[in-house]
Structure 1
């Protein structure tokens, strides 16, 4: 096969794979929203020329316009700029929470489902205790214990979601452990840890990806709620929950609440739509 024919075949294969995915328009729109949010978090200075901290006194509480897309707040600061600069904190905190929940919960579920016996009993009871406590209440308890700031709020959110990942991973490990290829690996003399890492973990973790995407959206909501209650970074930080909390004191100027709330809701709904699509996609 010549290089040209190989390249043509590769392009055909790539196109056929993309066609097979059949991404619905709603999912494509959700990916576009998430792409904008990620771009805001990585390079906020490319999307606005205003300062998120310094305002213009003469421009206090202006309604949305071409000059100020989301209006201005009580200190004359451009609200769109504050939302954009607050994206990095919200996204990073949600990622920290998901990593903590996925790693800790995945490890607990992996050991409980694979080892079984008394290990499964002890870890399953621990998971039951965590599931008995509402997630938001557990997050409030943890952040109260370790201190008030956005990073601690992310840690608390991650801890509150550990039980969910542990339960899902345990069920997937038990299902995978009973598969024929795992039994064949045992009969061929494979060690328990080799089978665990080589066969069980890769197959059992497939269900964790949609859950992690879904948990990312839920983490944004929980962290925003904690910031709304004052458990996050104090002003002049511009976390989305904090912006909503500040805006509720100025009900005559509703865009102070609507703008950050709309961005938060759009982000969470987009993440949820992507998660549902991933669950249906092989």
Structure 2
């Protein structure tokens, strides 16, 4: 005798382990429960990188600038987790000590983008009129130039140093933050509580700082986390091309650039590259989680 199982009308689902029907809502709820594990892992990666940048001496006792020539080109082992380079320097120590420059530079770039771009978007969206038109044209000019090309132009004008690469990356991110902030301010400005505050006698600056800015800055926070990862990638790219601090600095991009000259020691490229990729992907994952949590 054949048994026919049907699903309830108007609903979707799939067969469970015991052959019963599992509603899609339960499966989506289970997916949401599993998602935070990836977020926690991403937080763990970023916290580890931040700890490297703040206290590298807690994670390695090796000298990142001086090595033992007899230990040159040793592969990854318990003595040297990421192997050694052509001068016998411990690659793990160089990656750990180089995180300070990479993280600091990325934070500087994000701060420039948030402060300058956020201020432009805030004033343009709230004041409107000729202010909005003028600032919008400035943002359009910045958006018309590829961000990496703009960063190269700025760092070439300022000088080949990592801090200048951070400033260049921040300048290239101003337009994105300005566009997002302006959009959020325009949406918040039409809210009922903002109009009520103006009708009750609140000044425009009071409404701007007390009501519009706190509500419009939520999306900017998500973008700031995303931009942190992107800034690390851009600064590493600039260091790879030689626009950062010169050797014996140990910026992640510079480590990849110097390691590519030794194809028989691939760990010199893989180690800093994988750390960079893991950091960028973790920042992207956290940014996506923050956006979905709103």
Query: Structure 2 residue aligned with 1:218, among 230, 254, 258?
Result: 230
What is the deviation of 1:23? 6.0
What is the deviation of 1:252? 1.3
Query: Structure 1 residue aligned with 2:166, among 142, 148, 154?
Result: 154
- Residues 74-89 of structure 1 correspond to what in structure 2 (within 5 A)? 74-89=86-101
What is the deviation of 1:263? 0.3
1:133 equivalenced with 2:145 (yes/no): yes
Structure 2 residue aligned with 1:44: 56
1:185 equivalenced with 2:197 (yes/no): yes
Structure 2 residue aligned with 1:259: 271
What is the deviation of 1:24? 1.4
Q: Which runs of 5+ in 1 are unaligned?
A: 1-19
CA distance in structure 2 between the aligned counterparts of 1:22 and 1:129, rounded to whole angstroms: 43
1:93 equivalenced with 2:105 (yes/no): yes
Encode CA deviations 1:153-201: one digit per residue, 9 max, x unaligned.
0000000000000000000000000001110011011111001000100
CA distance in structure 2 between the aligned counterparts of 1:32 and 1:206, rounded to whole angstroms: 23
Shift of the 25–92 alpha-carbon distance from structure 1 to 2, 3 Å rule, reads same
**Which structure has the larger Rg?**
2
Give the TM-score of the pair, scaled to structure 2.
0.88
What is the deviation of 1:32? 0.8
CA distance in structure 2 between the aligned counterparts of 1:32 and 1:177, rounded to whole angstroms: 38
Query: Structure 1 residue aligned with 2:182, among 167, 170, 186?
Result: 170
Helix, strand or coil at the partner of 2:217: helix
- Residues 5-154 of structure 1 correspond to what in structure 2 (within 5 A)? 24-154=36-166
Aligned length in residues? 263
What is the deviation of 1:251? 1.0
What is the deviation of 1:21? 9.2
More helix by share: 1
Structure 1 residue aligned with 2:244: 232
Give the TM-score of the pair, scaled to structure 1.
0.92
CA RMSD for the aligned pairs? 1.2
CA distance in structure 1 between the aligned counterparts of 2:187 and 2:91, rounded to whole angstroms: 50
What is the deviation of 1:49? 1.1
CA distance in structure 1 between the aligned counterparts of 2:106 and 2:83, rounded to whole angstroms: 27
Encode CA deviations 1:59-112: one digit per residue, 9 max, x unaligned.
001111110000000110000000000000000000000000000000000000
Q: Which runs of 5+ in 2 are unaligned?
A: 1-31
CA distance in structure 2 between the aligned counterparts of 1:204 and 1:113, rounded to whole angstroms: 10
CA distance in structure 2 between the aligned counterparts of 1:53 and 1:254, rounded to whole angstroms: 20
Helix, strand or coil at the partner of 1:24: helix
